[in-house]
């Protein structure tokens, strides 16, 4: 038996060894990799990273590049649309699902299955359905309405909504499931009390349920938003960014400059901007979620 | 009290005035029609695309050109499926999606095993063996889950090149292990924290060490969470596109990358039925997992949603 | 058996210490959970750590078990300094509130897990498991999984898991709290018999004063990470050293009357009471509390024999069968009185009550220490 205090370093040695992969990932890849990318965004690296500082040149070029500006604009439209639509659709569906309906499992299975599919598969499916020569437009026209036009993927002004339609199909089931879990987490006695008090259902939702579901809304908001900023595969599969620049996205901008245009500095600057955008969303959330309650 | 009880049956009869018994229920109230009507319409939005794909993949090209995409096939043909699996071309290779399928299997299986093994031990160490600095690493890790992958793509290319694994399957397995770590570690840490702490204490008193407690006490109690983690990882890795393009060579492209190349290649005549069959083939693995796992998938999704 | 004289925690004096805790400190960050705590437990003693939740009793037990790392101080078990030893090297066995049985192992597996970890020969493991199972009468359950056992059976297995270790000290962390009242009483008796049969040192944490009074050789009453009083149950009950201990032990709780002590007379709402006959520790004039247990407030004709008598109105009656508790008002003060079960009383009735100064407890108003 040891009467001396063992060295602190060797206490729980196995646990520390087991945590080495985590420590390496956190320090080398997440911290180190991010710092590296940010640092090299201030260089004029082209085909290969080169430590040749040029200050904010890459950022100036980035913000004066039309493709980047359009990408940001597209992301803003897509993001706003996705947020509003997926929240409304998700919440309404969750409320409907919460009415003690029959076949709840079946409905949930139907609404969530697209989430199991990859963005590539999703993009290709909707490319086919929105194909003007075969898809919805073709069917309505052949039913007699000859002037009917519905070809979002081939009209620059509407293409982004075609992408949104597919993204909503893939992801709204998840929002519904999260919201349903939130609704189920609310004390059932609130409903009983409200019924005895004779308060109409819509009023309970607006006045009581929605305020109580704040944590779920915030979680869903963070998830949907960080998903929006990362959107890449879907666009690649469904539209390849077209027609023209109509569905270009920042993530695609980064990839194309990094591996196609061989302009690393631009890619790093663009990805640093993406990081900044995510941090603006995530840091306040993390401070709210974990900052207040941390205790020794 | 006793008096009322014994004489109750006689007294009840005259009291039975007004509504009694079960309230008559109407199945087809207006509210119900609205409710189920909405749900069915919404279900169509989710289901029709799948239906269209299946139908299209079973038609011949001539039928597709003249008919409409919602019509069931007049003549069912499995040729598109065979062609998609064995003959479709990506670049110079014309051996179909089967190549991508087996590549995806070779990528997914080791990635799932390695990432879960490492993350479960991590989660266990964090939940039960708190040591200095552990929480710092964990916080960085969780923040890492939100960093756009684009930020870390290139540094990882360099790292992998330095250790000679860039473009290899092992390299991609490492990448999947790294990017799966935040969410899986969180999943396992939360699960192990939810197990009674006294059990861990009892094992310590019984003289069991780090690994013995992990293998003999924790593992046998954690089957459900391992299944959830597996569902999460298999679908996530199978569906990956970005890492597949960045970190592999065309020979070892996963199925998603190959699919995108087949369908979006500009050369030749578009064979929509083959494309749809190929798309379905790619979606098949996650779909089978989804339908087979039911509620566990929902649990995994709720936990894995952080992955974004 | 144990010393009946007053013992303060700072003067440990035990002839043959089995467990000895010396100036133990424990803090989580800035929060000090245990402060300069000293405790000696003699070999073969049944010591109960008693207190309300958050008083540090379970924390202290976890420190003894080695499941929490100390901030300062020492712990000796069986004459050896085990302050930095692993839990399994300390010569302890432990029983937990939630039983903490390994769910995937059979009862036999649960009992032998610790011994296998020690690489004990198979024959000896079998021998020890058999003996422990015999003592606890769980032989028929050996092949079952914990999920197939009742609460009482699970707790026996948990005790068995501690027994097979043949430890110097057995630690119990609220082992009966998860059981229903009837089973709890049965197992309490069995635990007492077990202690008599084995003669090991046992340290037992509980918040249940009945368990503490019935099981303990000595009780340590804890509050805010400190031991308020350490002594035999009889001592604790009849000679509480502070108002907190006096109010904590006993059900219903002791009645307290606020007043002033001046030259052997206590002035309060009941009038001026002559304290002649009270065994003063350190008479000190000034604001004070007078405490009296409900069973020491005599009702009806017994009251006539007491030096202090008053008229009381009964507000509330709690008939418990063997006795009756009455909430009464005397001179505007509310008191609990214990009346024997046969006398019938009703709310609204008046009755004489009386008590004698020998039976009261006086505490200083500020320090709450016994006067």
Fold of B98-307: MetI-like fold (1.10.3720)
SS3 content of chain C, % helix, strand, coil (to 5): 30, 35, 35
Using a CB-CB cut-off of 8 Å, the residues of chain C touching A4 are 84
- Provide the pLDDT for residue A296: 32
CB C96 within 8 A of CB B201: yes
How many other CB atoms are found less than 10 A from the CB of residue C320? 9
CB contact under 8 A, C31 and A6: no
Residue A1 is nearest to which of C28, C30, C85, comparing CB atoms? C85
Best of B195, B202, B219 to substitute, by most chain C Cβ atoms within 10 angstroms, is B202
CB A18 within 8 A of CB B131: no
Using a CB-CB cut-off of 8 Å, the residues of chain B touching C114 are 205-208
CB contact under 8 A, A120 and B241: yes
- Provide the pLDDT for residue A6: 56
Which residue is closest to A296 within chain C, CA to CA? C29
Asked if pLDDT for residue B205 goes beyond 80, the answer is yes
Query: Poorest-confidence range of B189-203, B262-276, B283-297, C63-77?
Result: B262-276
User: What are the structural domains, with CATH classification, of chain C?
Assistant: 17-241 (3.40.50.300), 251-364 (2.40.50.140)
Exposed/middle/buried for C237, CB within 10 Å: 0-12, 13-18, 19+? Answer: middle
CB contact under 8 A, A142 and B68: yes
Exposed/middle/buried for A285, CB within 10 Å: 0-12, 13-18, 19+? Answer: middle
Exposed/middle/buried for B163, CB within 10 Å: 0-12, 13-18, 19+? Answer: exposed
B234: Cβ contacts below 8 Å, ≥ 6 apart:
B108, B112, B285, B286, B289
Say which residue the tokens 């593992």 belong to: B219
| pLDDT tens for chain C, residues 1 to 371 | 334 343 344 444 566 788 999 999 998 888 888 988 999 999 999 999 999 988 889 999 999 998 888 888 999 998 888 888 888 888 899 999 888 899 889 999 999 998 988 889 999 999 999 999 988 889 999 999 999 998 889 999 999 999 998 888 999 999 998 888 888 898 999 999 999 988 899 999 999 999 999 999 999 999 988 999 999 999 999 999 999 999 999 888 999 999 999 888 999 888 888 888 888 888 888 899 999 999 999 888 888 888 888 889 999 999 988 899 999 999 888 999 999 888 888 888 899 999 888 889 999 998 899 98
CB C22 within 8 A of CB C48: no
* Direct distance between the N- and C-terminal alpha carbons of chain C, in angstroms, rounded to an integer: 27
B214 Cα to chain C: minimum distance (Å): 12
Using a CB-CB cut-off of 8 Å, the residues of chain B touching C145 are none
A6 Cα to chain C: minimum distance (Å): 7
The percentage of residues in chain A with a pLDDT greater than 90, rounded to a whole number, is 18
Which of A291, A129, A82, A100 is CA-nearest to residue A188?
A: A100
- Provide the pLDDT for residue B15: 62
Using a CB-CB cut-off of 8 Å, the residues of chain C touching B206 are 88, 113-114, 117, 161
Helix (H) / strand (E) element for C181: namely helix C181-198
- Provide the pLDDT for residue C13: 52
C147 Cα to chain B: minimum distance (Å): 13
How many other CB atoms are found less than 10 A from the CB of residue C176? 25
- Provide the pLDDT for residue B1: 41
- Range B131-150 average pLDDT: 83
Residue A4 is nearest to which of C30, C80, C84, comparing CB atoms? C84
| Distance (Å, whole) CA B268 – CA A141 | 28
The reply to whether B62 touches chain C by the CB within 8 Å rule is: no
Q: Using H for helix, E for strand and C for coil, what is the string for chain C?
A: CCCCCCCCCCCCCCCCEEEEEEEEEEEECCEEEEEEEEEEEECCCEEEEECCCCCCHHHHHHHHHCCCCCCEEEEEECCEECCCCCHHHCCEEEECCCCCCCCCCCHHHHHHHHHHHCCCCHHHHHHHHHHHHHHHCCHHHCCCCHHHCCHHHHHHHHHHHHHCCCCCEEEEECCCCCCCHHHHHHHHHHHHHHHHHHCCEEEEEECCHHHHHHHCCEEEEEECCEEEEEECHHHHHHCCCEHHHHHHCCCCCCEEEEEEEECCEEEECCEEEECCCCCCCCCCCEEEEEEECHHHCEEHHHHCCCCEEEEEEEEEEEECCCEEEEEEEECCEEEEEEEECCCCCCCCCEEEEEECHHHCEEEECCCCEEC
| Distance (Å, whole) CA A91 – CA A105 | 17
CB contact under 8 A, A5 and C84: yes
Residue A25 is nearest to which of B49, B141, B148, comparing CB atoms? B141
**Using alpha carbons only, how large is chain A's radius of gyration in Å?**
25
| Chain A residues bordering chain C (beta-carbon distance below 8 Å) | 1-6, 296
Q: Are strands C286-292 and C361-364 parallel, antiparallel or unpaired?
A: antiparallel
Best of B199, B201, B206 to substitute, by most chain C Cβ atoms within 10 angstroms, is B206
Residue B205 is nearest to which of C88, C99, C101, comparing CB atoms? C88
- Provide the pLDDT for residue A197: 78
| Distance (Å, whole) CA A144 – CA A127 | 23
**Taking phi first (over 0 means left), then psi (-120 to 50 degrees means alpha), and beta for anything else, what does residue B163 get?**
alpha
Domain boundaries, chain B: 22-77, 98-307
| Distance (Å, whole) CA B299 – CA C10 | 55
How many Cα atoms occupy the beta-carbon half-sphere of B181 within 13 Å?
Answer: 28
How does the average pLDDT of chain A come out, rounded? 84
Using a CB-CB cut-off of 8 Å, the residues of chain A touching C29 are 296
Which of A257, A82, A99 is CA-nearest to residue A174?
A: A82
C370 has which bridge partners? C363
DSSP E strand stretches across chain B: none
Tokens of residue B183, six digits: 């969410």
| Distance (Å, whole) CA B182 – CA B143 | 8
CB A32 within 8 A of CB B155: yes
- Provide the pLDDT for residue B59: 85
Using a CB-CB cut-off of 8 Å, the residues of chain B touching A282 are 143, 146
Between residues C69 and B112, the one the model is more confident about = B112
| Distance (Å, whole) CA A159 – CA A147 | 19
pLDDT less than 50: residues of chain A:
1-3, 293-296
CB C316 within 8 A of CB C308: no
* Direct distance between the N- and C-terminal alpha carbons of chain A, in angstroms, rounded to an integer: 30
CB contact under 8 A, A2 and C28: no
- Provide the pLDDT for residue B306: 44
Q: Structure pTM?
A: 0.82
Helix (H) / strand (E) element for B83: namely helix B79-86
Asked if pLDDT for residue B173 goes beyond 90, the answer is yes
**How many residues can be counted in chain A?**
296
Alpha carbon of residue B188 to chain centroid = 17
CB contact under 8 A, C89 and A296: no
CB contact under 8 A, B46 and A111: yes
Fold of A61-289: MetI-like fold (1.10.3720)
- Provide the pLDDT for residue A292: 54
- Provide the pLDDT for residue A239: 87
- Provide the pLDDT for residue A10: 65
| Distance (Å, whole) CA C338 – CA C294 | 5
Residue A275 is nearest to which of B148, B158, B181, comparing CB atoms? B148
Between residues B94 and B125, the one the model is more confident about = B125
| Distance (Å, whole) CA A185 – CA A193 | 16
The reply to whether C28 touches chain B by the CB within 8 Å rule is: no
Structure letter (DSSP) for residue B90 = B
- Provide the pLDDT for residue C237: 93
- Provide the pLDDT for residue C144: 92
CB A238 within 8 A of CB A127: yes
């Amino acid at each position: 038996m040891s009467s001396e205090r063992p060295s602190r370093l060797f206490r729980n040695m196995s646990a520390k060894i087991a945590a080495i992969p985590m420590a390496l990932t956190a320090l080398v890849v997440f911290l180190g990799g991010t710092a590296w990318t940010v640092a090299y965004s201030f260089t004029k690296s082209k085909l290969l990273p080169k430590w040749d500082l040029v200050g904010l040149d890459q950022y100036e070029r980035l913000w004066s590049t039309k493709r980047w500006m359009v990408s940001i604009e597209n992301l803003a439209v897509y993001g706003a649309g996705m947020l509003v639509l997926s929240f409304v659709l998700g919440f309404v569906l969750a409320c409907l699902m919460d009415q003690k309906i029959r076949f709840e499992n079946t409905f949930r299975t139907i609404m969530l299955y697209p989430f199991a599919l990859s963005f590539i598969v999703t993009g290709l499916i909707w490319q086919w359905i929105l194909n003007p020569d075969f898809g919805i437009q073709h069917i309505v026209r052949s039913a007699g309405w000859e002037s009917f036009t519905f070809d979002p993927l081939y009209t620059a002004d509407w293409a982004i909504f075609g992408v949104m339609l597919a993204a909503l199909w893939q992801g709204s089931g998840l929002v519904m499931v999260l919201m349903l879990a939130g609704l189920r987490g609310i004390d059932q006695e609130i409903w009983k009390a409200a019924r005895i008090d004779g308060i109409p259902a819509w009023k309970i939702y607006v006045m009581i349920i929605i305020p109580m579901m704040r944590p779920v809304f915030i979680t869903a908001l963070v998830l949907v938003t960080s998903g929006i900023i990362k959107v890449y595969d879907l666009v690649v599969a469904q539209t390849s960014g077209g027609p023209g620049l109509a569905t270009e996205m920042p993530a695609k901008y980064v990839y194309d400059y990094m591996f196609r245009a061989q302009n690393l500095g631009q890619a790093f600057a663009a990805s640093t901007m993406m990081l900044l955008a995510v941090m603006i969303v995530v840091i306040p959330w993390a401070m709210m979620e974990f900052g207040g309650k941390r205790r020794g | 009290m006793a008096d009322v009880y014994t004489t109750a049956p006689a007294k009840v009869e005259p009291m039975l005035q007004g509504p009694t018994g079960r309230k008559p229920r109407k199945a087809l109230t207006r509210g119900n029609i609205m409710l189920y009507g909405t749900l069915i319409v919404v279900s169509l939005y989710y289901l029709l695309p799948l239906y269209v794909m299946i139908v299209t993949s079973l038609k011949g090209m001539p039928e597709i050109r003249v008919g409409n995409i919602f019509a069931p096939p007049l003549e069912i043909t499995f040729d598109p499926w065979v062609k998609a699996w064995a003959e479709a071309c990506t670049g110079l290779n014309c051996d179909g999606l089967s190549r991508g399928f087996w590549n995806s299997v070779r990528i997914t299986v080791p990635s799932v095993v390695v990432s879960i093994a490492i993350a479960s031990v991590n989660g266990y160490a964090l939940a039960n063996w708190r040591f200095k600095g552990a929480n710092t690493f964990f916080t960085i890790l969780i923040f890492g889950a939100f960093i756009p992958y684009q930020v870390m793509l290139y540094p990882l290319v360099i790292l992998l090149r330095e250790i000679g694994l860039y473009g290899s399957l092992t390299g991609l397995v490492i990448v999947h292990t790294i990017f799966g770590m935040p969410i899986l570690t969180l999943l396992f840490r939360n699960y192990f924290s939810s197990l009674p702490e006294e059990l861990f204490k009892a094992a310590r008193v019984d003289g069991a060490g780090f690994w013995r407690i992990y293998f003999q006490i924790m593992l046998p109690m954690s089957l459900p969470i391992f299944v959830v983690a597996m569902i999460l990882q298999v679908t996530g890795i199978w569906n990956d596109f970005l890492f597949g393009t960045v970190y592999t060579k065309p020979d070892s492209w996963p199925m998603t990358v190959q699919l995108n190349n087949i369908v979006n290649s500009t050369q030749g005549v578009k064979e929509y039925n083959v494309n749809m069959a190929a798309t379905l083939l790619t979606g098949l693995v996650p779909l089978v997992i989804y339908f087979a796992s039911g509620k566990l998938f929902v649990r995994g999704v709720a936990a894995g949603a952080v992955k974004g | 058996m144990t010393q009946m004289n007053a013992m303060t925690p700072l003067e440990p004096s035990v002839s043959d210490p089995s467990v000895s805790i010396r100036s133990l400190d424990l803090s989580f960050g800035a929060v000090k959970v245990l402060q300069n705590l000293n405790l000696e437990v003699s070999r073969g003693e049944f010591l109960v750590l008693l207190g309300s939740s958050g008083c540090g009793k379970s924390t202290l037990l976890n420190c003894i078990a080695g499941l929490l790392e100390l901030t300062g101080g020492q712990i000796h078990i069986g004459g050896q300094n085990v302050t930095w030893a692993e839990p399994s090297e300390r010569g302890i066995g432990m029983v937990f509130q939630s039983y903490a049985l390994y769910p995937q192992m059979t009862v036999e597996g649960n009992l032998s897990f610790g011994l296998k970890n020690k690489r004990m020969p198979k024959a000896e493991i079998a021998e020890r498991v058999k003996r422990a199972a015999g003592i606890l009468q769980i032989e028929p359950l050996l092949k079952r999984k914990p999920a197939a056992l009742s609460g009482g059976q699970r707790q026996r297995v948990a005790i068995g898991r501690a027994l097979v270790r043949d430890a110097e000290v057995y630690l119990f962390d609220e082992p009966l709290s998860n059981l229903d009242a009837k089973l709890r009483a049965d197992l309490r008796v069995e635990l007492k018999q077990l202690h008599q049969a084995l003669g090991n040192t046992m340290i037992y944490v509980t918040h249940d004063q009945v368990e503490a009074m019935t099981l303990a050789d000595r009780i340590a009453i804890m509050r805010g990470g400190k031991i308020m009083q350490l002594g035999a149950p009889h001592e604790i009950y009849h000679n509480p050293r502070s108002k907190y201990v006096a109010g904590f032990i006993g059900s219903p709780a002791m009645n307290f009357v606020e007043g002033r002590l001046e030259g052997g007379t206590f002035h309060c709402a009941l009038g001026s009471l002559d304290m002649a006959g009270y065994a003063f520790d350190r008479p000190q004039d000034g604001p004070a509390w007078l405490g009296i247990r409900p069973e020491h407030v005599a009702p009806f004709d017994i009251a006539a024999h007491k030096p202090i008598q008053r008229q009381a109105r009964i507000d509330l009656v709690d008939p418990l069968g063997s006795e009756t508790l009455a909430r009464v008002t005397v001179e505007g003060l509310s008191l609990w009185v214990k009346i024997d079960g046969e006398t019938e009383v009703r709310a609204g009735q008046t009755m004489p009550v009386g008590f004698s100064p020998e039976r009261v407890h006086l505490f200083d108003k500020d320090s709450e220490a016994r006067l």
